[in-house]
């Protein structure tokens, strides 16, 4: 459906020197790139045309889509990949833009159901309070008192109860255990109320997973958001294809099975139906879970199912135990909605276990992970890309995707091919930052191949002179935890005077806070620090990367994705591995320059960047930074910049 675009002069006025946003946003300044993006978004919304925009760091893409979205008068969903951006949009950016427009707009934030108190499950837990420890009883009393006065039911409101408290899974619902429209507390359900607010809002802010759940009708009985939405804006869209494709994986987790047993016991006890026969079926299921846990491969790395025959055998036992429990619960389901829902869950899990156990007959792709007496088994259907195309194509709305990293060079085909959303208009907007002036790319000469036994030691030796010149203030990004720990040990053994902050030693948020306020800090991290980190100013002047971020070739998850590409007639390396690595590298490099006064050095140690033909693809996708080949040149650049002589 075509809509009238905002009058151009009116739209442009928000991105000029006398913008109404100037008084509300400290440091607001006109950016031609931001205005260019706003015009593109406005035109796409007016034409009903799907659009993907790569907007470089510093573009100000959030305002560039919020202003035309609010001016359009259309109902808009904004989906983010992280809670941080979701909260920023709802609590900061949307109120500012709404006030500047002088036009009232109803805005809602919708979180996943695990963020909302379930009144039904709270009542069940309060009835069984004698079975928990003293600390949990005190927390339960605190939560019960809060439940009497909360309007939103958002558990983030509860002070004094840790977010990782074992109580929360018992007091919140999941798609598995929610009773839906059969719940006796449906009228007071906080999830229902939150969804109704979001469905009625002019702008609803959600995350990628919630958007996909809505499209896949996983929350049947709660009403959809998408039928009323005219525009869906997906921010942090570089994450979206992987999240969407994973949505079609069939997954069986030990935690799901243990929660089913726990909930069945609670419901049966409440109804006086926990007899010997039911206990026997539940014990049999727990026994099958324990056998599967024992059969699961050790370690956190995923393993292909054909390399884990004991696990394949254990899955058959799980399917049988789940089927027996489902049959018994089905006979008793009419005695209460809670037990009826447990019967449905057992049946669904039995179906999943049976399909996974029969994965070879279906030519699907299957792998298993085991960790700390738990397991997760994943089945990737071979037709997952086709399912995704159908799901996205069935939504009658305009899609706008944006991120700083969507293209490989100028090419968006990797992104659009994985989404299957066609036709998809694509645009690139370069960063306004002057990388040629404020940054250098240091490619250390003489390093061995990454497979060499002394590779990491040589990388650390190449980086150390720059760390001395920068006085720390560095991110060291690694592609594996093993490399991270080895580098941390090497640096700790030498007297540099730097404060080492190592991933895993504290929560991610604490490490970032400590880094920003600590002199000579060096933070060492893996994947979680490659993106979504925004450290501005002189606290961060070096980003070093140990090797090109190709996924481990032995990873069954990767092998499943490569097989899907192969079966579609593509080239796995060219069409998947290389583009994924390029986008990941761009994210890591993007941690350095975040503001107009930032400067620094990017160090990429991997000699393949210069020695392999595909290295040119990586280099062409990076910001236009002059390359230096020696630590002396890199150090001179830092000294000159800090002396005011860039």
How far is it, in rounded angstroms, from Cα 47 to Cα 33? 21
121-155 pLDDT tens trace:
999 888 876 666 777 888 899 999 999 999 999 99
* Phi, psi for 308 (deg, rounded to 5): -135, 65
More confident residue, 226 or 439: 439
User: Strand pairing partners for 205?
Assistant: 78, 109
- Class of residue 351 by CB neighbours under 10 A (exposed 0-12, middle 13-18, buried 19+): middle
Q: Which of 239-243, 386-390, 520-524, 529-533 has the lowest mean pLDDT?
A: 386-390
Structural tokens at position 73 = 């008068």
- What was the pLDDT predicted at 257? 96
Question: Using 50, 70 and 90 to split pLDDT, how confident is the model at 419?
Answer: confident
Residue 238: predicted pLDDT:
95
Return the H-helix or E-strand segment holding 402: strand 398-403
* pLDDT of res. 131: 60
Q: How confident is the model at residue 3, as a pLDDT?
A: 62
Higher pLDDT, 350 or 332: 350
Above 70 in pLDDT, residue 78?
Answer: yes
Structure token digits, residue 384: 């997952």
**Burial class of 600 by CB neighbour count within 10 A (0 to 12, 13 to 18, 19+):** buried
Instruction: Tell me the C-alpha distance between 256 and 289, whole Å.
Output: 10
CB neighbours of residue 39 within 10 Å? 18
How far apart are alpha carbons 449 and 346 in whole angstroms? Answer: 51
Mean pLDDT of 536-546: 95
DSSP conformation class of 36? H
Range in 143-157, 394-408, 549-563, 608-622 the model is least confident about: 549-563
What does pTM read for this prediction? 0.89
| Percentage of the chain exceeding pLDDT 90 | 61
- The DSSP bridge partners found for residue 525 are 477
**Per-residue tokens: 465:** 């002179």
Closest among 298, 293, 322, 305 to 357, alpha carbons compared: 305
CB 607 within 8 A of CB 572: no
Q: Which residues, 6 or more positions from 598, have their beta carbon under 8 angstroms from its beta carbon?
A: 433, 438, 536, 537, 540, 592
Burial class (CB in 10 A: 0-12, 13-18, 19+), 23: exposed
The number of residues making up the chain comes to 646
pLDDT at 214 over 90: no
Would the pLDDT of 219 be above 80?
Answer: no
pLDDT at 85 over 80: yes
Which candidate, 332, 330, 357, places its Cα nearest to that of 345? 330
Q: Can you tell me the distance from the alpha carbon of 343 to that of 179, in angstroms, rounded to the nearest whole number?
A: 11
Determine the average pLDDT of the residues in 10-21. Answer: 88
Q: How confident is the model at residue 643 (pLDDT cuts 50, 70, 90)?
A: confident
Same CATH topology for 8-106+201-245+385-429 and 435-642: the answer is yes
Beta carbons within 10 angstroms of residue 307's beta carbon: 12
Summarize the confidence of residues 98-103 as an average pLDDT.
Answer: 88
Rounded Cα distance between 145 and 455, Å, is 58
Q: What mean pLDDT is predicted for residues 501-526?
A: 93
| pLDDT value at residue 585 | 97
Give CA angle at 145 (144, 146), nearest 5°: 90
Closest CA to 579 of 561, 596, 600: 561
- Residue 163: the pLDDT is 82
Question: 147-150, long-range: CB within 8 Å, 24+ apart, which pairs?
Answer: 147/117, 147/119, 147/122, 150/117, 150/190
* HSE, side-chain direction, 13 A CA sphere, residue 492: 11
Q: Say if residue 138 is preceded by a cis peptide, omega within 30 of 0.
A: no
Predicted local confidence at residue 642, as pLDDT: 87
Helix (H, G, I), strand (E, B) or coil at 509: helix
Determine the pLDDT at residue 301: 75
Architecture of the domain whose range is 435-642: 3-Layer(aba) Sandwich (3.40)
Residue matched to tokens 């690694």: 478
Parallel/antiparallel/unpaired status of strands 51-55 and 425-429: parallel
Pairing state of beta strands 375-380 and 365-370? Answer: antiparallel
**pLDDT for the residue numbered 572:** 93
Which pLDDT tens digit goes with each residue over 521-535?
Answer: 999 999 889 998 989
CATH superfamily of 8-106+201-245+385-429: P-loop containing nucleotide triphosphate hydrolases (3.40.50.300)
Residue 248 has pLDDT above 70, yes or no: yes
Read off the pLDDT band of 44 (50, 70, 90): very high
User: CA-CA distance, 108 to 600, in Å (whole number)?
Assistant: 39
In whole angstroms, give the CA distance from residue 449 to residue 606. Answer: 7
Residue 472 has pLDDT above 90, yes or no: yes
Cα–Cα distance between 59 and 235 in angstroms, integer? 14
Please determine, for residue 7, whether its predicted confidence score (pLDDT) is greater than 70: no
Confidence bin at 464 (pLDDT 50/70/90): very high
The 8-class DSSP code of residue 6 comes to: P
Cβ pair 479, 526 in contact under 8 A: yes
Q: What is the pLDDT of residue 381?
A: 76
What pLDDT, on a 0 to 100 scale, did the predictor assign at position 162? Answer: 84
Q: How large is the average pLDDT for residues 268-292?
A: 93
Measured distance CA(337)–CA(577) in Å, rounded:
47
Opening angle at CA 325, ends 322 and 329, nearest 5: 135
Of 1-15, 330-344, 469-483, the range with the highest mean pLDDT is 469-483
Contacts of 302 (CB under 8 A, 6+ apart): 367, 368, 369, 378, 555, 556, 557
- Check pLDDT > 70 for residue 217: no
- Average model confidence (pLDDT) across the chain: 89
Cβ-Cβ contacts under 8 Å for 441 (sequence gap 6 or more): 601, 602, 604, 622, 625, 626, 627, 628
Residue 93 sits at φ, ψ, to 5 deg, of -70, -50
**Where do the structural domains in the chain lie, given as residue ranges?**
8-106+201-245+385-429, 113-180, 250-380, 435-642
* pLDDT of residue 329 exceeding 60: yes
Most confident of 23-27, 299-303, 348-352, 625-629: 625-629
**pLDDT at residue 400, rounded to an integer:** 96
**Level-2 CATH architecture, domain 250-380:** Orthogonal Bundle (1.10)
Structure tokens at 251: 């997954």
Angstrom CA distances, 593 to 36, 231, 257, stand at 21, 31, 46
Using CB atoms within 10 Å of the CB of residue 96, give its burial: 0 to 12 exposed, 13 to 18 middle, 19+ buried.
Answer: middle
In angstroms, rounded to a whole number, what is the distance separating the alpha carbons of residues 472 and 464?
A: 9
Q: Longest Cα pair distance anywhere in the chain, in angstroms?
A: 82
Which has the minimum average pLDDT: 103-112, 400-409, 587-596, 637-646? 637-646
Q: What is the pLDDT of residue 223?
A: 56
């Amino acid at each position: 459906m075509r809509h009238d675009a905002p009058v151009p002069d009116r739209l442009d006025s928000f991105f000029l020197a006398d913008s109404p946003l100037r008084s509300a946003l400290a440091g607001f300044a006109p950016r031609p790139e931001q205005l260019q993006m706003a015009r593109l978004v406005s035109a796409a919304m007016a034409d009903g045309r799907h659009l993907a925009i790569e907007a470089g760091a510093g573009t100000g893409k959030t305002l560039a889509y919020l202003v035309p979205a609010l001016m359009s008068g259309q109902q808009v969903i904004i989906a983010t990949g992280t809670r941080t951006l979701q909260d920023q949009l709802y609590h900061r950016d949307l109120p500012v833009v709404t006030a500047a427009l002088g036009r009232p707009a109803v805005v809602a934030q919708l979180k996943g159901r695990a963020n909302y108190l379930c009144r039904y499950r709270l009542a069940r837990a309060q009835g069984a309070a004698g079975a928990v420890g003293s600390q949990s009883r005190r927390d339960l009393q605190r939560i019960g008192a809060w439940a009497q006065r909360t309007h939103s039911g958002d558990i983030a409101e509860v002070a004094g109860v840790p977010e990782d408290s074992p109580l929360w899974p018992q007091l919140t619902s999941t798609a598995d255990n929610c009773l839906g429209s059969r719940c006796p507390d449906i009228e007071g359900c906080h999830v229902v109320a939150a969804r109704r607010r979001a469905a009625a809002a002019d702008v609803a802010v959600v995350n990628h997973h919630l958007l996909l759940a809505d499209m896949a009708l996983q929350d049947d009985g709660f009403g959809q958001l998408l039928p009323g939405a005219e525009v869906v804006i997906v921010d942090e869209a570089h994450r979206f294809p992987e999240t969407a494709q994973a949505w079609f994986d069939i997954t069986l987790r030990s935690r799901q099975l243990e929660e089913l047993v726990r909930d069945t016991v609670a419901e049966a006890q409440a109804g006086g139906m926990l007899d010997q026969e039911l206990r026997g079926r539940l014990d049999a299921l727990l026994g099958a879970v324990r056998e599967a846990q024992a059969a699961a491969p050790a370690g956190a790395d995923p393993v292909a199912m054909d390399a884990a025959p004991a696990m394949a055998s254990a899955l058959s036992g799980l399917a049988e135990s789940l089927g027996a429990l489902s049959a018994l619960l089905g006979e008793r389901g009419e005695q209460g909605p809670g037990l009826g829902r447990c019967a449905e869950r057992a049946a669904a899990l039995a179906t999943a276990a049976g399909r996974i156990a029969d994965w070879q007959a279906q030519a699907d792709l299957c792998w298993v992970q085991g960790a700390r007496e738990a397991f997760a088994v994943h089945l990737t259907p071979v037709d997952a890309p086709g399912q995704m195309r159908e799901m996205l194509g069935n939504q009658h709305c305009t899609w706008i995707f944006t991120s700083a990293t969507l293209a490989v060079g100028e090419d968006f085909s990797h992104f659009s091919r994985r989404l299957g959303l066609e036709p998809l208009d694509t645009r690139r907007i370069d960063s306004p930052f002057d990388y040629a002036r404020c940054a250098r790319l240091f490619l250390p000469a003489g390093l061995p191949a990454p497979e060499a036994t002394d590779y990491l030691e040589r990388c650390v030796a190449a980086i150390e002179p720059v760390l001395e010149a920068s006085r720390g203030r560095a991110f060291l990004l690694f592609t594996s935890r093993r490399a991270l720990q080895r580098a941390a040990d090497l640096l700790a053994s030498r007297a540099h005077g730097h404060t080492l902050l190592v991933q895993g030693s504290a929560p991610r948020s604490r490490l970032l806070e400590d880094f920003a306020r600590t002199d000579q800090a060096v933070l060492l991290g893996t994947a979680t620090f490659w993106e979504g980190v925004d450290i501005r100013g002189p606290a961060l002047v070096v980003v070093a990367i140990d090797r090109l971020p190709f996924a481990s070739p032995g990873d069954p998850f990767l092998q499943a994705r490569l097989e899907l590409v192969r079966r579609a007639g593509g080239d796995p390396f060219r069409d998947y591995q290389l583009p994924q690595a390029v986008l990941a590298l761009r994210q890591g490099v993007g941690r350095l320059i975040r503001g107009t006064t930032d400067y620094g050095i990017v160090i990429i140690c991997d000699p393949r960047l210069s020695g392999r033909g595909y290295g040119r693809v990586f280099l062409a996708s990076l910001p236009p930074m002059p390359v230096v080949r020696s630590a002396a040149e890199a150090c001179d650049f830092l000294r000159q910049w800090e002396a005011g002589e860039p």
